[in-house]
Amino acid sequence: MNFSHGANFLILPILLILPIVSAVLAAAPGRRVHFYPKFLEGETLRYQVEMRTVSTGNTTTPIANPEGETKVSQTISLLVRLDVIGTAENGVPASGQSRLRATYEQSRAQSESDAFNPDAPSLDDQYGKLESRSIEFTLMPDGHLTNITGLEDVFPIRSETDPILSWVQAISTSSRLPPNGIALGQKWSSERSLAGWPLSGLSWRTESTYLRDDVCSRASAAIARQPDANTGDAECAILLTHFEILHRGSADADSTPEEYRRNGLRTSGAWKGSGESLDAISLATGLLESSTQTSTQSMDYQITTPSAGSRIHHVGQVQSESHIRLVSGPSLRP
């Protein structure tokens, strides 16, 4: 999931980081579990996705705007049918990539703001138009999405589609899990630099733990691919992930990213964030049973134009939570 900056209240920090996966080994003490994305053509599954974001803040610009918004809240609810429509390219196995179709069987959004902008498009109406529509995309082995089609006429601005696509981008975990598998009680971490933000030196760090195996919900236990499979109390791998936004380097160093510098701008300030997610993945099917994530971000930065002596100063906080739950599937269509 991509981050945005400024007053954008749709900041969703690498939402839903644990996904639909398959072909896993059952976990036993001392045994490592490998998660490999492997969809079967013709499968259908459904996910319920709930997201809520509350953004508060204030932006000071050279031109004062006393009616500017200082608080925005947004709630999004989606019921998505996911069909596997292809696992090969021109009849040749596609090295783990899959072509998927997501149909938004239910799509609702509610937004509230302390400022009224008659020229801004209604998010509620946009999500209403999304209902019953489908998008298609190719899921790559590393979790990236390519060849996305079907959203252009509803959300012409790509950044506005982040809440729609963020849960999809969580379908593959192969790029975020240790390549040699994970074992009960194991901890692992990763860190990467954040590009495209108004401040340089920021990194995204995650620390994960394979906590335990636990009983999945009845919905997950009853959806094994094999018709004669045991549908008793199936087990899920429970993974806990903590994440945070860190600043690397000296606090006195220039925080201006190169792309800002090339445009004659200078930036300074701070951007912090933290949160956690708790995810359950079925050991029998490899499917994401559920995922719950909460996060908080705070920012206080300014962008200046030394040549003109002008400045934009933004102070804000974003709180977000998301829930994703498997409600049915996979089932092979006749």
Confidence (pLDDT) at 45: 86
* Residue 3 lies inside a defined structural domain of this protein: no
47-84 pLDDT, tens digit each: 999 999 999 998 888 776 666 678 899 999 999 999 98
Bridge-based pairing of strands 43-60 and 71-86 is antiparallel
Neighbours of 321 (CB within 10 A): 16
User: Would you say residue 160 has pLDDT above 80?
Assistant: no
> For residue 211, what are the domain limits?
43-176+183-329
* Residue 314 lies inside a defined structural domain of this protein: yes
* Residue 160 lies inside a defined structural domain of this protein: yes
Tell me what the pLDDT averaged over the chain comes to: 77
Mean pLDDT within 268-279: 94
CA-based radius of gyration for the chain: 21
Confidence (pLDDT) at 312: 92
Burial (CB count <10 Å: 0-12, 13-18, 19+), residue 334: exposed
Residue 1: closest CA among 295, 198, 334, 219: 295
What is the b/e burial string over 245-282, where b = at least 16 CB atoms within 10 angstroms of the residue's CB?
bebeeeeeeebbbeebeeeebebeeebebbbbbebbbb
3-class SS of residue 74? strand
- Whether residue 235 contacts residue 213, with contact meaning beta carbons closer than 8 Å, is answered with yes
Residue 327: closest CA among 163, 197, 217: 217
* Residue 94 lies inside a defined structural domain of this protein: yes
In whole angstroms, give the CA distance from residue 318 to residue 7. 10
* Residue 13 lies inside a defined structural domain of this protein: no
Specify the number of domains making up the chain: 1
Contacts of 329 (CB under 8 A, 6+ apart): 43, 44, 45, 46, 82, 223, 287
209-236 pLDDT, tens digit each: 999 999 876 434 444 444 434 444 678 8
* Residue 38 lies inside a defined structural domain of this protein: no
Mean pLDDT within 279-288: 79
Q: Which residue has the tokens 């009224």?
A: 116
96-137 pLDDT, tens digit each: 678 889 999 999 999 888 776 666 667 788 888 889 999 898
* Residue 143 lies inside a defined structural domain of this protein: yes
In whole angstroms, give the CA distance from residue 88 to residue 80. 23
- Between the alpha carbon of residue 36 and those of residues 82, 143, 223, the distances in Å are 18, 11, 18
In whole angstroms, give the CA distance from residue 223 to residue 235. 12
* Residue 19 lies inside a defined structural domain of this protein: no
Q: Please report, for the domain that includes residue 316, its CATH number.
A: 2.30.230
Residue 281: closest CA among 232, 325, 329: 325
